[in-house]
């Protein structure tokens, strides 16, 4: 738990997030926002679950909600978790009700009805809701009838970085024995089914350019199934599954195209990160960050294979590829974590004062 000096006129802010990991989108966002809070000397704590991870997810969710509710008092909760007592709720996980309408999940799993209960209460009880995309704002309104004025859209922010291609390429090439000059297409994300790794592999297999190397970076419990699919598609020698990585920026740095055919993604920090590291980016209209892209780079659904021809043409046209990469880099700089914090702080001010 981190505690920093209190800035004048600010109450202490308690950020609420059950998990404490290095890989989740909300956890990465919290890490970035913490750095900015430190620079601004704003007093805050991060509240994580005190309950062991071996417990069932639904039970941990109940217990965590109980934990934060009991100790709420006059604390100001900026929640990144579905709880029944937030002051501000940042809906970074999207809308579970919408997610369930897209993905078929077991009705026997008590986690889903519990999430729906917590989600409804969370949206109703929060003084203000922050949506990380217009898509999520519209999802909240359509699913729960929440007043539009209660919801502010604040796109996610990234830390602006320099690119060192040679360092990154030498590091990755040494580990995975890849040759310089090969086109590289990248996927980053954990939870392969929802984020479209099946469709990613199908697209790679259908490309004319058979020199393409594809990296799939992320954690997946059913990894064997995707390796089998890559083999069935005849691309097993050109697809590298890396598992979860802390050095993901090196993969962004060496890639030409970032392909993310997700079924549902509230925003997708990976989109901004890939743009920032000079990737041409393709994703679906079911991804909130698609709002930052031109229409020709947006798939109507994960199986919109019309982009195969677009990727082929880009790989054949180096000037067009490079121009789009440079444009994406420039566009991404408009979405720094500092700008995100500035907008978020205004919302906190509204609620506190």
CA end-to-end span of the chain, whole Å? 26
Six-digit token pair at 253?
Answer: 């740095």
Mean pLDDT calculated for residue range 33-58: 91
Instruction: Express each pLDDT in 75-131 by its tens digit.
Output: 999 999 999 999 999 999 999 999 999 887 887 899 999 999 999 999 999 999 999
Tell me which CATH code domain 165-332 carries: 3.40.50.2000
More confident residue, 33 or 67: 67
In this structure, what token pair is assigned to residue 188?
Answer: 């980053």
| pTM (predicted TM-score) | 0.91
Tokens matching residue 89: 């709720």
Fold match flag (13-157+336-352 vs 165-332) = yes
> Does residue 1 have a pLDDT over 70?
no
| 35 and 4 Cβ atoms separated by less than 8 Å | no
Sign of torsion, CA 96 190 248 212? negative
Tens digit of pLDDT for each residue in 229-287?
999 999 999 999 999 999 999 999 999 999 999 999 999 999 999 999 999 999 999 99
Q: Where are the domains of the chain?
A: 13-157+336-352, 165-332
76-79, strands of its sheet edge to edge: 44-47, 13-16, 76-79, 88-90, 128-131, 151-153
As a whole number, the mean pLDDT across the chain is 93
What length is written for the chain? 353
Provide the pLDDT for residue 30: 83
Topology adopted by domain 13-157+336-352: Rossmann fold (3.40.50)
Q: Of 72, 15, 23, which is closest to residue 42 (Cα–Cα)?
A: 15
pLDDT tier for residue 27 given thresholds of 50, 70 and 90: confident
Cα 151 to Cα 82, 96, 117, 167, 344, distances in angstroms: 16, 17, 19, 43, 12
State how far the Cα of 166 lies from the Cα of 168, in Å rounded to an integer. 5
């Amino acid at each position: 738990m981190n505690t920093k000096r209190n800035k004048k006129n600010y109450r202490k802010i308690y950020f609420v997030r059950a998990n404490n990991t290095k890989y989740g989108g909300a956890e990465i966002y919290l890490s970035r926002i913490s750095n900015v809070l430190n620079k601004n000397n704003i007093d805050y704590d991060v509240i994580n679950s005190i309950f062991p991870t071996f417990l069932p997810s639904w039970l941990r969710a109940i217990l965590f909600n109980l934990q934060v509710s009991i100790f709420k008092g006059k604390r100001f909760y900026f929640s990144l978790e579905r709880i029944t007592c937030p002051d501000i709720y940042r809906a970074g996980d999207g809308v579970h009700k919408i997610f369930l309408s897209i993905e078929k999940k077991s009705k026997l799993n008590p986690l889903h009805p519990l999430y729906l209960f917590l989600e409804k209460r969370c949206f109703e009880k929060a003084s203000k809701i922050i949506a990380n995309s217009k898509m999520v704002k519209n999802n909240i309104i359509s699913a729960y009838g929440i007043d539009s004025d209660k919801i502010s859209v604040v796109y996610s922010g990234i830390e602006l970085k320099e690119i060192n291609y040679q360092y990154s390429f030498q590091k990755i090439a040494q580990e995975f024995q890849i040759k310089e000059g090969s086109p590289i297409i990248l996927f980053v994300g954990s939870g392969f089914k929802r984020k479209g790794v099946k469709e990613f592999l199908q697209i790679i297999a259908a490309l004319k350019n058979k020199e393409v190397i594809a990296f799939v970076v992320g954690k997946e419990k059913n990894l064997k199934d995707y390796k089998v699919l890559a083999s069935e598609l005849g691309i097993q020698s050109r697809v590298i599954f890396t598992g979860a990585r802390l050095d993901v920026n090196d993969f962004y740095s060496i890639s030409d195209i970032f392909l993310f055919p997700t079924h549902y993604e509230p925003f997708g920090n990976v989109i901004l990160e890939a743009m920032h590291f000079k990737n041409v980016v393709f994703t679906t209209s079911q991804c909130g960050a698609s709002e930052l892209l031109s229409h020709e780079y947006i798939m109507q659904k994960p199986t919109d294979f019309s982009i195969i021809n677009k990727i082929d043409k880009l790989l054949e046209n180096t000037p067009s590829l490079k121009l789009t990469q440079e444009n994406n880099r420039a566009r991404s700089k408009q979405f720094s974590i500092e700008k995100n914090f500035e907008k978020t702080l205004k919302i906190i001010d509204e609620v506190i004062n």
